[in-house]
Structure 1
Amino acid sequence: MIEKFKGIFPAFYACYDDKGEVSEERTKSLCEHLYQKEVKGLYVGGSSGECIYQNLAERKATLKYVADALKGKLTLIAHVGAPSTRESIILAKYAEELGYDSLSAIPPIYFQLPESSIYKYWSEIIDSTELPFIIYNIPQTTGYALSIKLFNQLIQNPKVIGVKNSSMPVMDIERFKKAGENRILVFNGPDEQYVAGRLIGADSGIGGTYGAMPELFLKAEEFVTTGNFDQARNIQTDINDIIIALCSLNGSMYAAIKEVLKLKGVNIGSVRGPLEPIYSDDFSKVEEISVLIDQTIAKYN
């Protein structure tokens, strides 16, 4: 089972129509686009999916549309973290009904809770279904950094198969891998350190920019697995140049990625407030980024 979770997993983007409503047609269009790129699977309903800005019905709709399009074709991980344990469990049970391969969740947000509460939250989600579970550690947005102590508690449950580590210190990947005694999968989260994460112990990657340039992360994975470390470093540098450019505009990085996808024929709308869209002054820069991505793909092919 573990092998199907090894590879490149784009974090799936929220797909809206022109009125800002979740779109079945555009969701399935993005599914097909990424499927054709031959990624290993998708991480659905997480940060890239703008989960905290969507209601329960919208999140369930996205889970359904992706499952309808790709169940049995790609490995599907459902992110079900929500403001309340109750909502998280509703999403978890629904993902199980739809045939997802695994669940994942951020820790509780807003209130600064003791680890006993965080442990209870994750454990109740894990115990609500028969699906395997991947912990999601992203302290820069949730305010909680997963401790080795809590990690060791959680992995006593055999349903816990991995951790998506999006903290910036690469050492965290190595520490989780060591604590899991190679039984637990570690997913590299920060796209800017994909190569470093893999070399220090990450088994796979889940990332928010993968969907804009899956070819580059697939090639980076190829370089790592074949031991071509010079090229792995080179492509990481080029990937980082693109990420910096995506983050340099007067709007959300996700809005920039969606404009790039439009230029590639995949219209999934824009972002939902309070995330900001791309403004007219920056559209020429989006075109430059799209060209840069194409040139970089050609460089390594």
Structure 2
Amino acid sequence: MKFEGVFTALVTPFNSDGSLDEAALRDHVEAQIAGGVAGLVPMGTTGESATLSHEEHVHAIGVVVDQAKKRVPVIAGTGSNATQEAIDMSRRAVELGADATLQVAPYYNKPGQEGFYAHFSAVADAVEVPHILYNIPGRCAQNVEAETILRLAKHPNIAGIKEASGSLAQIMRIISESPEDFSVLSGDDAWAFPFVALGGQGVVSVASNVIPDRLSRMIAKGLAGDMAEARNEHYALLDFFGALFVETNPVPVKYALAVQGKMRESYRLPLVPLKPESRKVVEKAMKKLGL
């Protein structure tokens, strides 16, 4: 399976008491598919996965799989800093019908490069579906180096990477030296167009929660070689990308969806609602796009 296009890192809607709002999640899945995204990624950072119990985690993935009904692939966030836990959660997601998994680099325990290689290889060996690696040193405290990623790209069950190192040299090396069937996806909306221009395959997006159609159109233009149109759209959306990170993700994007009436502005601690000045930043960027 080749992963190409826009894959939405889904937010998780909560009720006012903090429980999972299943109806809003199902509606959100429908809106994403109608907006033309290539796939759905539940239970990543944007889904507040760190504050859900394992049972809630699995339940949310099951809801997304059930609602998607194989119309688009579901890449379940099942990574962990404990290798056996990542394996167990991945197996449960696959049993529910997930098409692939997203495996974040182990966080907090700060493994070295051999530790990263052994961890990701163990998950890929144990669970026979495509796995997308996720490199985000800003949250995990360690960078998975290009050399390690290229070693892992040879594994038959490792299909790609969500790359958020912010290192242009690393990004270019991975794109240029990885196998043809290995997907290199941006982990940051502001880098999505540059990734595609350099030969990458798309983005795992936060912004597509709000603008799935525009993100999908931008990436489709870039993949088709229409770089001028894709670049114009990139610059038109750049302020909005920035506004969604005015505070810690996913607080701004969930606020934007709440402004649109698509879900409650409900988070789980330690995340709290946006400050008043940050609300104005998000609202201004939304108004600029006619949202």
TM-score by length of structure 1 reads 0.89
| Distance 1:141-1:258 versus aligned 2 partners, 3 A rule | same
1:101 Cα offset (Å) = 1.2
1:174 Cα offset (Å) = 2.0
SS of residue in 1 equivalent to 2:289: helix
| Distance 1:225-1:91 versus aligned 2 partners, 3 A rule | same
Structure 1 gaps of 5+ residues are 296-301
1:89 Cα offset (Å) = 1.5
1:218 Cα offset (Å) = 1.6
Structure 2 gaps of 5+ residues are none
Aligned: 1:122 with 2:83: no
1:286 Cα offset (Å) = 4.2
SS of residue in 1 equivalent to 2:165: coil
Aligned: 1:109 with 2:70: no
- Counterpart code for 2:40: L
1:281 Cα offset (Å) = 6.0
1:279 Cα offset (Å) = 4.1
Find the partner of 1:11 among 4, 9, 12: 9
Q: Which residue does 1:293 correspond to in 2?
A: 289
- Counterpart code for 1:256: P
Output one character per residue of 1:21-51: Cα deviation in whole Å (capped at 9) or x when no partner: 2222221121112122121111121111122
1:7 Cα offset (Å) = 1.3
CA contact (8 A) 1:78 1:102 kept: yes
Find the partner of 2:36 among 32, 35, 38: 38
Aligned length: 291
1:269 Cα offset (Å) = 3.9
Q: Which residue does 1:153 correspond to in 2?
A: 151
Indicate the RMSD between aligned Cα atoms, in angstroms. 2.0
**Identity of paired residues, percent?**
24
**After alignment, is 111-120 or 189-198 more displaced?**
111-120
1:191 Cα offset (Å) = 0.7
Aligned: 1:263 with 2:259: yes
- Counterpart code for 1:70: A
Aligned: 1:278 with 2:274: yes
CA contact (8 A) 1:254 1:271 kept: no
SS of residue in 2 equivalent to 1:294: coil
Q: Which residue does 2:182 correspond to in 1?
A: 184
TM-score by length of structure 2 reads 0.92
**After alignment, is 153-162 or 64-73 more displaced?**
153-162
1:244 Cα offset (Å) = 2.2
Output one character per residue of 1:236-262: Cα deviation in whole Å (capped at 9) or x when no partner: 1221111223333xx544222222212
| Distance 1:71-1:269 versus aligned 2 partners, 3 A rule | farther
Distance in 1 (alpha carbons) for counterparts of 2:156 and 2:264: 37
1:121 Cα offset (Å) = 1.7
SS of residue in 1 equivalent to 2:290: helix
CA contact (8 A) 2:136 2:164 kept: yes
**After alignment, is 282-291 or 186-195 more displaced?**
282-291
1:268 Cα offset (Å) = 4.7
Distance in 1 (alpha carbons) for counterparts of 2:165 and 2:279: 31
Find the partner of 1:171 among 149, 169, 172: 169
Q: Which residue does 1:27 correspond to in 2?
A: 25
Output one character per residue of 1:194-240: Cα deviation in whole Å (capped at 9) or x when no partner: 11110111112111222122222122123313433233222212211
- Counterpart code for 1:220: M
- Counterpart code for 1:85: T
Distance in 2 (alpha carbons) for counterparts of 1:89 and 1:77: 15
| Distance 1:230-1:63 versus aligned 2 partners, 3 A rule | same
Distance in 2 (alpha carbons) for counterparts of 1:177 and 1:286: 33
CA contact (8 A) 1:209 1:257 kept: yes
1:70 Cα offset (Å) = 0.5
SS of residue in 2 equivalent to 1:88: helix
Distance in 2 (alpha carbons) for counterparts of 1:46 and 1:105: 9
| Distance 1:161-1:245 versus aligned 2 partners, 3 A rule | closer
